Amino acid sequence: MERPRPSVDNLYGLLMEPVAVAPDRPAVVEADDKGVLHETSYRRLDLLTQEYAAALDGLGLDVGDRVIVEADTSAASVAMLLACSMLGLPFVTVSPQTPDTRLQTIVSAVEPALHARADSLAPRERVEVEGSAHFGPDGLVVERAPARRVRRRRNVLATDTAYIVFTSGSTGRPKGVVMSHRSIVTFLRAMRTDELAGPGDRVAGTSPLQFDFALFGIGVALSSGATLVPVRREDLSSPRRMIGFLRDAEVTQVHGVPSLWRPVLRHDPDLLKELEPLRSVVFAGEEFPIPELRRLQEMLPGVRVVNGYGATESMAASFTDVPDPLPAGLERLSIGYAHAGAEMTLVDGRGAIVTEPGQTGEIYLRSPALFTGYWNDPEATAAVLVPDPADPRHGQKVFKTGDLARLGAQGDLSFVGRSDYQVQIHGNRVELGEIESTLTRLPRVTAAAVTLVPRSGDHVLTAAVVLDGPGDIDTRAALAFCAQQLPAYMVPRSIHTLAELPLTVNGKVDRALLTEKLASPRRTSDLRHATNA
């Protein structure tokens, strides 16, 4: 049967719209191995996409067959994602750093027809995949062809899967979040309405391709006719390299998790002054510690800082400008209102809609951009795609996020924490985030994380703090401050000074690893020396 045709709502169709109006505009600007910048126009990106699509089509795969794309963000990997989209082949992005064991888990789960890796990467001898290929600027080279399928599909529909992202929860089984073309296209159209980026923007992406924050950067940049500027991993290794690259690439918007900014703020904040054309910074993934956020604003006067909140299950829910300057004594950042393609509702512990300002509840998200479900996991799906608590009778499902927020006077929301960061201590409900925000009000503390550490048959609150420079926290004074601000059962048992908080591959605070380190004092000192070095 002939090649399947993409329908109106297809990721390829949306992202390649600029080809018709501004084919010569740069779609991607990236550094080569020597750090020299190269431009790929929208026209060239489309040609490369067509070339990959022709090669993939030659394999005779059917709509719905999965393709693992192992790569960093580049013009070539973007073209590969677009080629998959065009043919209705769901892509599963994997970063080159992924250990074989994790990749094997993903492969066993999604049973891909093909593992396509960037040219520069060695084959994975220990991972068993049906087909394998590598790709780069010169095309797609198939090493082992998958068995030809009987094609049962002609049209790639909006409801077909565009991609599957495996969430990198540091505990438990990884879950594959299945996103349809309709969802991602609807989401990106809402971003256009909200004008997050425009044609003149040069958008730097810093997240690994397996994290949907990277897909967000690709989507926002190309769907608004802007230029995507992927930052190489090696350029993120030092503040000087990172800022040097952002400056040379004349970046106007930077996307990154809060921890992206921690090293430069701590070691070389003056470098930030070099970012002349920078207009906006979008952060997402976790809370930005308020002292670090203040510092960033001081060093980047006039730059818009946007708090992007949301989960892979709908890409994102809201984008809120951080007030400049931040009000003194502010404890919680606003996540404002949902973006143009969604609505957030708070639901209390009894299942009632929260309408009283000042009250806290769990965020439920209503949107045509919701995920389809977790790959091969109907139970986990049913636990979070639930009947609308506002009115279950219409049968529509909403997404129960697991995040808590407080309702503001104008109907705006402030982020409180994950519902699973709510712990019980001797019968008292404790919000770990509340202790963390208390700690960040101490002088010199720029970031803090609190976990529950097992100790002689019990669990005790243990805190880790990062300071604005060398030295240790004055534990006695810090504990006295906590005792003044918090009920006794919320005061941490001990406070450790760390040079850095341990991070997951996606750049979020790795709470599981932190708990493990704090649980054994010897390993805590290891961590301290390792990170101080």
Residues in contact with ligand 8PZ by CB under 6 A are: 167, 212-213, 216, 284-287, 307-312, 315-316, 401, 403, 415, 418
The residue among 138 and 331 lying less far from ligand 8PZ, judged by its C-beta, is 331
**E-strand spans in 170-258?**
176-180, 202-205, 227-230, 253-256
Contacts of 337 (CB under 8 A, 6+ apart): 318, 320, 344, 411, 412, 413
The residue among 134 and 255 lying less far from ligand 8PZ, judged by its C-beta, is 255
Taking residue 503's Cβ as centre, other Cβ atoms within 10 Å add up to: 15
Q: From CA 334, how far away is CA 411, in angstroms rounded?
A: 11
Minimum CB distance to ligand 8PZ, residue 183 (Å): 12
Determine phi and psi for 220, rounding to 5 degrees.
-65, -45
- The DSSP secondary structure of 313-359, one letter per residue, reads GGS-SEEEEPPSSPPTT--S-EEESB-TT-EEEEE-TTSPBP-STT-
Q: From CA 308, how far away is CA 320, in angstroms rounded?
A: 7
Minimum CB distance to ligand 8PZ, residue 344 (Å): 12
Minimum CB distance to ligand 8PZ, residue 165 (Å): 8
Kindly give the interhelix angle for 432-439 and 475-485, rounded to the nearest 10 degrees.
120
The residue among 55 and 386 lying less far from ligand 8PZ, judged by its C-beta, is 386
Minimum CB distance to ligand 8PZ, residue 49 (Å): 23
The residue among 69 and 165 lying less far from ligand 8PZ, judged by its C-beta, is 165
Q: From CA 175, how far away is CA 106, in angstroms rounded?
A: 9
Q: From CA 84, how far away is CA 4, in angstroms rounded?
A: 11
Element (H or E) spanning 317, and its range?
none
Taking residue 357's Cβ as centre, other Cβ atoms within 10 Å add up to: 12
Q: Which of 510, 526, 409 is nearest to 171 (CA)?
A: 510
Minimum CB distance to ligand 8PZ, residue 251 (Å): 17
- The DSSP secondary structure of 482-517, one letter per residue, reads HHHHS-GGGS-SEEEEESS--B-TTSSB-HHHHHHH
Minimum CB distance to ligand 8PZ, residue 284 (Å): 3
Minimum CB distance to ligand 8PZ, residue 417 (Å): 8
The residue among 297 and 401 lying less far from ligand 8PZ, judged by its C-beta, is 401
The residue among 135 and 261 lying less far from ligand 8PZ, judged by its C-beta, is 261
Q: From CA 212, how far away is CA 197, in angstroms rounded?
A: 18
The residue among 75 and 384 lying less far from ligand 8PZ, judged by its C-beta, is 384
SS3 196: coil
The residue among 294 and 528 lying less far from ligand 8PZ, judged by its C-beta, is 294
The residue among 167 and 224 lying less far from ligand 8PZ, judged by its C-beta, is 167
- The DSSP secondary structure of 28-44, one letter per residue, reads EEEE-TTS-EEEEEHHH
Q: From CA 75, how far away is CA 135, in angstroms rounded?
A: 11
Report which DSSP code applies to 395. Answer: -
Minimum CB distance to ligand 8PZ, residue 111 (Å): 23
Minimum CB distance to ligand 8PZ, residue 422 (Å): 12
The residue among 210 and 515 lying less far from ligand 8PZ, judged by its C-beta, is 210
The residue among 9 and 287 lying less far from ligand 8PZ, judged by its C-beta, is 287
Tell me, letter by letter, the H, E, C secondary structure of 246-286: HHHCCCCEEEECHHHCHHHHHHCHHHHHHCCCCCEEEEECC
Strand pairing report for 397-407 and 413-418: antiparallel
Q: From CA 373, how far away is CA 71, in angstroms rounded?
A: 25
Taking residue 193's Cβ as centre, other Cβ atoms within 10 Å add up to: 10
The residue among 316 and 385 lying less far from ligand 8PZ, judged by its C-beta, is 316
Minimum CB distance to ligand 8PZ, residue 308 (Å): 3
Whose tokens are 């940049």? That residue is 221
The residue among 380 and 530 lying less far from ligand 8PZ, judged by its C-beta, is 380
Report which DSSP code applies to 4. Answer: P
Minimum CB distance to ligand 8PZ, residue 318 (Å): 8
Minimum CB distance to ligand 8PZ, residue 514 (Å): 16
Q: Is residue 292 within 8 Å of residue 495, measured between CB atoms?
A: no
Token pair for 415: 């982020």
Minimum CB distance to ligand 8PZ, residue 257 (Å): 8
Determine phi and psi for 205, rounding to 5 degrees.
-110, 135
Determine phi and psi for 518, rounding to 5 degrees.
-70, -20
The residue among 284 and 467 lying less far from ligand 8PZ, judged by its C-beta, is 284
Minimum CB distance to ligand 8PZ, residue 466 (Å): 18
Q: Is residue 482 within 8 Å of residue 442, measured between CB atoms?
A: no
